[in-house]
């Protein structure tokens, strides 16, 4: 496989998926508003006291990000599966795992990146200081791609399955736990004056590992689901 055909396929795939997402902006915005609403419910449910909110802020924002990124997983392959595009993609000469990576990247651009960009606003609502907010953004920047990559395996496995939307949460949420632990751990460590670089390194390691491994799993899952 020569280099140009791979990168050409990558670019075509990413721009196609971005175009499709831009033509259906409501889908993207729904996930974003879901993220905001879930976070806003916590002060109402727990307490408006800033001291308490500040201590639970990293966990609340991260859990909301987990749920929001899971909600958007359904869109990842289902449209292509329903209109038969996915079968054509499986027949491409380029490796399926690279194609999957391109799709996940495009998906992260419209569903993960906006969460990262919105998080400072929510951090301020919950009383995080500026250092905490910056660190929150960094952890989300490293962590949300991992969520999309792991979620892609679940989305591929539940393709066309009845009740797939709820099912995918059951499969994927337990696998998200390490990212949640180290994402919130970094912010917690920083606010209590401890070293947080270890957390960030581990999140980076998760990202590298999942970029390498999960596309293979997703490709295998797609072949199982489509054949």
Chain residues in the site for another protein (CB under 8 A): 153, 157-158, 161-164, 167, 170-171, 173-175, 177-178, 181-182, 185, 189, 206, 213, 217, 220-221, 224-225, 227
Identify whether the C-beta of residue 13 lies closer than 8 Å to the C-beta of residue 98: no
For residue 15, the minimal CB distance to another protein (Å) is 30
Q: What distance separates the 2 farthest-apart alpha carbons in the chain?
A: 59
Identify whether the C-beta of residue 126 lies closer than 8 Å to the C-beta of residue 41: no
Measure the CA–CA gap between 51 and 224, rounded to whole angstroms. 50
Q: What number of H helices and E strands is found in the chain?
A: 10, 0
User: By C-alpha distance, which of 112, 104, 165 is closest to 139?
Assistant: 112
Closest CB to another protein among residues 21, 149: 149
For residue 164, the minimal CB distance to another protein (Å) is 7
Closest CB to another protein among residues 32, 171: 171
Strand stretches in the chain, DSSP E: none
Closest CB to another protein among residues 46, 177: 177
Closest CB to another protein among residues 43, 183: 183
For residue 189, the minimal CB distance to another protein (Å) is 8
For residue 163, the minimal CB distance to another protein (Å) is 6
């Amino acid at each position: 496989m020569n280099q140009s055909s791979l990168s050409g396929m990558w670019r075509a795939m990413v721009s196609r998926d971005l175009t499709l997402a831009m033509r259906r902006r409501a889908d993207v915005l729904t996930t974003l508003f879901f993220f905001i609403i879930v976070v806003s419910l916590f002060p109402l449910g727990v307490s408006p006291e800033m001291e308490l909110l500040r201590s639970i802020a990293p966990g609340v924002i991260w859990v909301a990000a987990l749920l929001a990124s899971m909600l958007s997983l359904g869109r990842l392959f289902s449209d292509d599966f329903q209109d038969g595009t996915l079968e054509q993609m499986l027949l491409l000469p380029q490796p399926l795992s690279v194609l999957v990576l391109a799709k996940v990247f495009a998906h992260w651009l419209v569903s993960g990146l906006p969460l990262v960009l919105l998080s400072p606003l929510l951090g301020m609502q919950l009383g995080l200081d500026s250092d905490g907010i910056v660190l929150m953004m960094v952890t989300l920047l490293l962590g949300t791609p991992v969520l999309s990559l792991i979620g892609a395996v679940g989305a591929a496995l539940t393709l066309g399955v009845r009740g797939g939307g709820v099912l995918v949460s059951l499969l994927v949420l337990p696998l998200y736990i390490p990212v949640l632990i180290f994402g919130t751990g970094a912010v917690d460590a920083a606010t209590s004056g401890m070293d947080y670089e270890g957390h960030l390194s581990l999140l980076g390691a998760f990202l590298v590992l999942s970029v390498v491994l999960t596309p293979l799993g997703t490709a295998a899952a797609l072949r199982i689901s489509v054949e």
